[in-house]
Structure 1
Amino acid sequence: MEWYLDVLQNHYADFNGRARRKEYWMFTLFNVVIIVGIAIVTAVLGAVSETLGLLGVIAYVLYALVVLVPGLAVAVRRLHDTGKSGWFLLAGLVPVIGGLIVLYFMIIEGDHGPNEYGPNPKSSDPIGLSASPIGT
């Protein structure tokens, strides 16, 4: 949860620098959990009343709008960690293969040492969490 909150509070629209895999994937995980939670609540409320179901849909749309910019920012910084430009995220618009290519770059380990986008984020933990011995 700390990684998710760090992106929202400290890197909301920060498209500069690098994001390690753990930061990107923890942000993504919590987004999925929250969206599934909103979907379940919306389904239950929609079964009770159409008006309450509409409120759930509105809550989902508002949440999606709030996390749109930080989601793009952390994805761009993740691509920077692998030495790719943030514009490479547009490859995801190519049907099927584009999404797989972007997914590949989100999964692979970042560049060791500094690159053109900044120092290695693993060398200094931005929120004080120690790196796991297995890696991130």
Structure 2
Amino acid sequence: MSEFLTMFRRFKDFSGRSRRREYWISTLIFQLILIGLSRLEMVLDLNFGVPEVEEGPLVLLYNVILFIPVLALNIRRLHDVGRSGWWLFMSLVPLVGWLVLLNFFVREGEARSNKWGPNPKAMTPVQGGAWG
């Protein structure tokens, strides 16, 4: 859960690096909350009065609030593997783009410092890593 909260604390940090653990735990918690909100909307029948609409106001608000923190986390994760945040545009390429990004997201980060900062795995809380 602390990784998910770290995503909020670093919501405006587009220049650092994020470890795999921070990325995947945050993604898991994000998805679980999204599923819960979606189920709650179904139970409460909150679909803007249009049966064809799958997302209601809770899911919409949740996605709007988390758009910037999730975007920043994705960019920092790409920085950790030595890629620019511009690689996120690969998601616009059907199927292949998502596979390329998935490959980057599951990779271990670069062990050495790169142009986006020092290795977050090697950092301690005193050095201002993910805890600072």
Q: TM exceeds 0.5? A: yes
- Give 1:87's aligned residue: 86
Compute the displacement of 1:96 (Å).
0.6
Q: Which has the higher helix share?
A: 1
Say yes or no: does 1:6 pair with 2:6: yes
Q: Which ranges of structure 1 fall in alignment gaps of 5 or more residues?
A: 47-51, 129-136
Say yes or no: does 1:127 pair with 2:131: yes
Once the two structures are superposed, residues 39-80 of structure 1 have per-residue CA deviations (whole angstroms, 9 ceiling, x without a partner) of 11111111xxxxx45498111111100000010100000000
Q: Give the match's secondary structure for 2:83.
A: coil
Q: What value does the CA root-mean-square deviation take over the aligned residues? A: 1.7
Count residues in correspondence.
122
**Counterpart residue type for residue 95 of structure 1:** P
Q: Distance in 2 between matches of 1:2 and 1:19?
A: 13
Compute the displacement of 1:14 (Å).
1.1
Q: Distance in 2 between matches of 1:101 and 1:40?
A: 31
- What TM-score, normalized by structure 1, do the two folds share? 0.84
- Give 1:132's aligned residue: none
Q: Distance in 2 between matches of 1:11 and 1:54?
A: 33
Q: Distance in 2 between matches of 1:109 and 1:62?
A: 33
Q: Distance in 1 between matches of 2:60 and 2:15?
A: 27
- Give 2:73's aligned residue: 74
- What TM-score, normalized by structure 2, do the two folds share? 0.87
Q: Distance in 2 between matches of 1:120 and 1:19?
A: 9
Q: Which ranges of structure 2 fall in alignment gaps of 5 or more residues?
A: 50-54, 125-129
Identity of aligned residues (%): 40
Q: Distance in 1 between matches of 2:11 and 2:83?
A: 20
Compute the displacement of 1:99 (Å).
0.6
Compute the displacement of 1:112 (Å).
0.5
- Give 2:52's aligned residue: none
**Counterpart residue type for residue 4 of structure 2:** Y
